[in-house]
């Protein structure tokens, strides 16, 4: 990693943690035992030229030291689950930005020698409410430019890859180009993508620029359409010289229910992305168990098998360079927190178990499945 341009590394950490009481606690005996018995996903991934990472949050750095120690043991990369989203940085009026949580995550990554993913510069779903009330196109373009310049500029030189535009496609919206009819497209037209990627590149030339998308891995007409539309978008971006380096595949999977994994089509899809000269990052992998049986051993087995089936195919593609799980322990997961659609909650009210470590930070079969997938993956050039 090169030296940061926006802020000095030490400044990032101290600025982010300023004013907040830093809790520190000795590791529990149980955690120490589990860690000793557990190889690290970071090391297994690195042996194959892969980077393994997880989400974290600033409040976890401050208030959950045992979890953070597990992150330091297991992950080579972190991504703020929410702390860099526009609406999380700006909770008030234009310009009234609070980067303290984002700074804390970035500072933690730097201090721990981990790579940092930037998530994200633009996402229709987390745009501050005032943006929608700006009077005209010029004002909206100005706000987008100011936001990207400020956010990408602040962490210049320390971000491994930026999700520049999160979730830009939605074929169901009916446009011939498959783009999502949402705030930025409506305000600035389809050219907003080129504007965002060019500006991100100018602001932080070292960061890889990613198009991050979901629902592109199953054997279902909707997923097939999304694969086609996403490839077409990437082709257009390559042809027009829009600076894009990688595709982020979120991969929020389900252990039971819904369409099956489209192993062969997904394999071809990854090869098609690679043929465009792009790398691939698995950016938000988790496995929800809402329709799996209550019995924990059976449930954990089904979740683990889902991780393994998916990763075995994904990691066969040498353009895949990064695997991020959307959380590391069931202690901190959007699925367990019920931030998913109500239809996706377990009917029996039992807590979900979607991640490699349980809520007590003990490794689960999902951990072993990911470890084995890394161990069996072909080696690749790091990217």
If binding is defined by CB under 6 A, does position 321 make contact with ligand 9MR?
no
If binding is defined by CB under 6 A, does position 290 make contact with ligand 9MR?
no
Stretch that binds ligand 9MR, among 37-45, 81-89, 176-184, 218-226 (CB under 6 A): 81-89
CB of 253 to ligand 9MR, least distance (A): 12
What mask of x and - would describe binding to ligand 9MR in positions 86 to 125, judged by CB under 6 A? ----------------------------------------
**Binding-site residue total for ligand 9MR (CB under 6 A)?**
9
- The CB density around residue 99, as the number of other CB atoms within 10 Å, is 21
CB of 121 to ligand 9MR, least distance (A): 12
- Of the pair 31, 122, the CB lying nearest ligand 9MR is at 122
Stretch that binds ligand 9MR, among 19-27, 80-88, 175-183, 189-197 (CB under 6 A): 80-88
- Of the pair 43, 126, the CB lying nearest ligand 9MR is at 126
Site residues for ligand 9MR, window 261-280 (CB under 6 A)? none
Give the strand pairing for 246-249 and 115-123. Answer: unpaired
- Of the pair 74, 212, the CB lying nearest ligand 9MR is at 212
If binding is defined by CB under 6 A, does position 38 make contact with ligand 9MR?
no
CB of 113 to ligand 9MR, least distance (A): 25
Residues found near ligand 9MR in the complex (CB under 6 A): 81-82, 85, 126, 166, 250, 284, 334, 339
């Amino acid at each position: 990693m090169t030296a940061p341009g926006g802020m000095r590394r030490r400044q990032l950490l101290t600025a982010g943690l300023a004013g907040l009481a830093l809790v520190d606690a000795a590791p529990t005996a149980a955690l120490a035992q589990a860690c000793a018995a557990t190889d690290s996903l970071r090391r297994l991934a690195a042996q194959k030229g892969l980077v393994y990472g997880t989400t974290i949050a600033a409040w976890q750095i401050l208030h959950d030291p045992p979890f953070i120690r597990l992150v330091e043991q297991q992950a080579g990369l972190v991504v703020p689950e929410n702390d860099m989203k526009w609406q999380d940085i700006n909770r008030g009026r234009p310009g009234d930005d609070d980067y303290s949580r984002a700074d804390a995550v970035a500072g933690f990554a730097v201090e721990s020698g981990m790579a940092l993913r930037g998530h994200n510069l633009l996402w229709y779903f987390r745009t501050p409410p005032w943006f929608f009330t700006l009077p005209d196109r010029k004002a909206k373009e100005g706000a987008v430019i100011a936001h990207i310049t400020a956010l990408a500029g602040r962490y210049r030189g320390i971000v491994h890859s930026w999700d520049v535009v999160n979730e830009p496609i939605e074929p169901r919206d009916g446009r011939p180009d498959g783009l999502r009819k949402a705030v930025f497209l409506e305000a600035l037209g389809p050219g907003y993508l080129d504007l965002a990627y060019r500006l991100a590149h100018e602001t932080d030339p070292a960061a890889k620029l990613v198009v991050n998308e979901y629902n592109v891995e199953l054997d279902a007409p909707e997923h097939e359409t999304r694969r086609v539309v996403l490839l077409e978008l990437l082709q257009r971006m390559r042809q027009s010289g829009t600076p894009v380096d990688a595709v982020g595949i979120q991969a929020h999977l389900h252990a039971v229910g819904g369409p099956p994994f489209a192993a062969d089509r997904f394999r071809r899809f990854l090869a098609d992305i690679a043929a465009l000269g792009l790398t691939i990052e698995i950016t938000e992998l988790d496995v929800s168990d809402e329709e799996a049986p209550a019995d924990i051993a059976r449930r954990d087995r089904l979740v683990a098998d889902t991780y393994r089936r998916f990763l075995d195919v994904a990691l066969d593609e040498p353009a895949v360079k990064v695997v991020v799980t959307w959380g590391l322990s069931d202690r901190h997961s959007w699925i367990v927190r019920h931030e998913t659609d109500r239809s996706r909650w377990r009917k029996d009210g039992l807590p979900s178990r979607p991640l490699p470590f349980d809520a007590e930070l003990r490794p689960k079969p999902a951990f072993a499945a990911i470890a084995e997938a890394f161990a069996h993956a072909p080696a690749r050039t790091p990217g």
